[in-house]
Structure 1
């Protein structure tokens, strides 16, 4: 009898321990039904009148006269325009503060840089960018924290520190740094240098160990850096090919920072799939990109507007002003060729330091190049989502569905605009024109219920 009672008590105790776990496993599905909206699905230029049903974090149904499940949150869109959440394909949330690349060199420490990064990524989220590709900078921890719902922010596809040769675009040491002497950007892995095949392989595996979604190679000189004229080519073919091969082994891809033909063609020969900038390319190289399906990541605002007045950038040296002016003088011609040959384009703002609040100007500037509003938005939604998916399946942090599109099974990253950006692309600029902001099925903003 005593043994039987003891067994019963143990059984009841085990139930008390297990029931809370079972209750967590049986969490109810959540639903959001959006009605009375004009929907742009990102696949073409047309709007359709439709409802959208969200289940948890994915789009469950898309059509007219959908029924709300019990307990659903209902949003009457009041004839607003629905688009997918915006995607910024070239950000640097870790390269911030008043001197960007060089802020952490002694003026401020890594904690301040992290605080600036959190501020900047949420500035982007509040502008409607529900996803970003952070392309150079040790944002790997930020990306992981957002993915695990521990930190507010947009989805982040991070390259981790970019690959730079000594004296290249990612070498942020002081001028009188000695060989083998370290510097703060390198110690925090916010920027890094690696020379030779063995070193770049080691660094590539380090990046992927820590969750990098793709690789970023500094293939030519850059503007916002000190030791690298634009004309240089940073890496040998063997070094680039080693980075690409490790990326291919990780079922993802490599992209390059580059401006001119020799760096871009060498990188394409080595297997890279995407070019950032490219504003000093020849027509022949642009055509090669189109023929071989190489993606162009376009930073139209920085190159054609901000660099037109490069001397006004407060932390630029005379040499940086010279390089920026050189980029400005080549940019519009390259963009004309990219349109002519129908290169596959995504949009990346490249806004860092003091510029993050202006990120959407990189969207609106594209009307100056002759694109229609729906084409411009595709650069920031559908096209961007396809490139993000190139990190998969192994290194894509978000695998449940596509992004940048409104369709059944897609992630529920949704904006409702009072004034349609399909009518006038400048309507993306005012943040208060975004009436509803949904990321991953969670309502982050809803002014329609006020």
Structure 2
């Protein structure tokens, strides 16, 4: 049975709700917002949420009444949009590689790992994520239906990779299905599509779109977490890449590609992709091209090493780690549209550091720039999915008409960004889709 089918069966037995049920109105009084123009906090504001949207923001007290109204005194704290991680793998990030290779993916095991990991992510203040590869559709459906707690998910579905590409997860004994007729284990579980040639790429893209992909993830270059492809290789021909872009654009959405090196990224740009994942080995000339074409660069600031990292992966990552120190400041100077994400894979212990990784951007950005990147800018990238976006509405900003994904921070994150790295203590209020999931302030 496919992993996606197992997840569907298991999650249908779980039911969770926001802590106040399905309230219709929330009035948050006496809070300060961030003014990005002045890079300062505003004067005291009052914010009324109606349903899942921000209805009113006022300098004056808001008169609102009703049995379904919840009033919260913000006590002068800072209200910011929910955090957004633009590059996650919820399933791969919740499991170790040995766990992924287990044959007995039991109900208890999956609920206690993948489901729990999603809940913890929401309680860290991440109200939205873009999942860029993996069997995510059943988990997303369970969250959206209220069977599990978790962030909004923009799903890519199975990664799309050429044979011997970054998404070719076959073990040494697994042969090519084209020659031997046996589908690999990773493909059966919905983790990846191994697709060669224009026709197969078209089919793989359309399969993901059929299941609800909001964007398509294509492997355009080598990687560090895969066994067979060197980091420096270019993957997929121009025609194959164009096939993916055409199929995605026919559905009103876009292709994002995994790639590090200029050659692979230039080919992807020529094919018409709208976003690059990684790019730590980019040169200045290619960054200039990315900026000229108005393409997003979804970057990470990866951890240098971990105790459980495979030695081969450690070696392959070395140039990437060195490159990220150069690319971030160069991309900022050039004016590339930047998004931020974590990209944790097969090391679940890293998940608890998700917020702390935001602080790694302080080498190159002001606190205001960082908060804007992990909320407003990442939210703008999510909306690149157009009509394929699973959650219509504006995210990453606090304005009338925007979706009500909000955090109340106990302090001023413009002065002390470390507040974002301590969600248990600093986040007094967590709201997603107008529903309260955490409230450490007394309601009235």
TM-score of the pair, normalised by structure 1: 0.87
Q: Residues 41 and 192 of structure 1: is their aligned pair in 2 closer, same or farther, counting only changes over 3 Å?
A: farther
- State the Cα distance separating 1:97 from its structure 2 match: 5.0
1:99/1:315 contact within 8 Å kept: no
**Matching residue of 1:106:** 102
The separation in 1 between residues aligned to 2:229 and 2:70, in whole angstroms, is 54
Partner of 1:75: 72
CA distance in 2, matches of 1:235, 1:408: 44
Aligned to 2:207: 206
The answer to whether the 8 A contact 2:81-2:397 is kept is yes
Query: Against the structure 1 CA distance between its residues 108 and 225, is the aligned structure 2 distance closer, same or farther, given a 3 Å change threshold?
Result: farther
Match of 2:8 in 1: none
Count of equivalent residues: 411
In structure 1, how many angstroms separate the alpha carbons of the residues matched to 2:386 and 2:37? 21
- Once the two structures are superposed, residues 191-210 of structure 1 have per-residue CA deviations (whole angstroms, 9 ceiling, x without a partner) of 22111111110111110000
Q: Does 1:326 align with 2:319?
A: yes
CA contact (8 A) 2:119 2:148 kept: no
Q: Secondary structure at the match of 1:150?
A: coil
Distance in 2 of aligned mates of 1:366 and 1:322 = 24
The structure that has the greater radius of gyration is 1
Q: Deviations over 1:31-78 (max 9, x none)?
A: 111111111266762322211000011001001222222332110011
| In structure 2, C-alpha distance between the alignment counterparts of 1:36 and 1:174, rounded to whole Å | 57
- Match of residue 354 from structure 2: 359
2-structure distance, mates of 1:179, 1:415: 48
In structure 2, the residue corresponding to 1:421 is in which secondary structure?
A: coil
TM-score with structure 2 setting the length:
0.89
Q: 5 Å matches for 1:381-396?
A: 381-393=375-387, 395-396=388-389
What residue is the counterpart of 1:350 in the other structure? Answer: 343
Unaligned 5+ segments in structure 1 are 1-27
Higher relative contact order at CA 8 Å, sep ≥6: structure 1 or structure 2? 2
Q: Give the corresponding residue for 2:258.
A: 257
Q: Structure 1, residues 115-170: CA drift from partner, whole Å, max 9, x if none?
A: 52212222211110000001110101222232233332110000001111111111
- Residues 424 and 277 of structure 1: CA distance in aligned 2, closer, same or farther (over 3 Å): same
Q: Name the stretch that deviates more: 335-344 or 142-151.
A: 142-151
C-alpha distance in 2 between matches for 1:239 and 1:43? 43
Rounded to whole Å, the distance in 2 between the matches of 1:118 and 1:240 is 34
Matched residue of 1:73: which SS? strand
Offset of residue 175 of structure 1: 1.6
Provide the C-alpha distance between the structure 2 equivalents of 1:331 and 1:94, rounded to a whole number of angstroms: 25
Moved more, 33-42 or 323-332: 33-42
Pair 1:113–1:240, CA change in 2 (3 A): farther
For residue 138 of structure 2, give the secondary structure of its aligned residue in structure 1. helix
Q: For the Cα contact (< 8 Å) 1:147–1:397, is it kept in 2?
A: no
Deviation readout 1:273-309 (Å, 9 max, x if unpaired): 1111100011100111111111111211x1xxx22xx
CA distance in 1, matches of 2:328, 2:434: 36
The match for 1:403 is: 395
Let me know the Cα RMSD of the aligned residues. 1.8
Could you tell me how far apart the structure 1 residues matched to 2:202 and 2:37 are? 39
1:248 equivalenced with 2:249 (yes/no): yes
Distance 1:114 1:201, change over 3 A: farther
The whole-number CA distance in structure 1 between the counterparts of 2:340 and 2:415 is 19
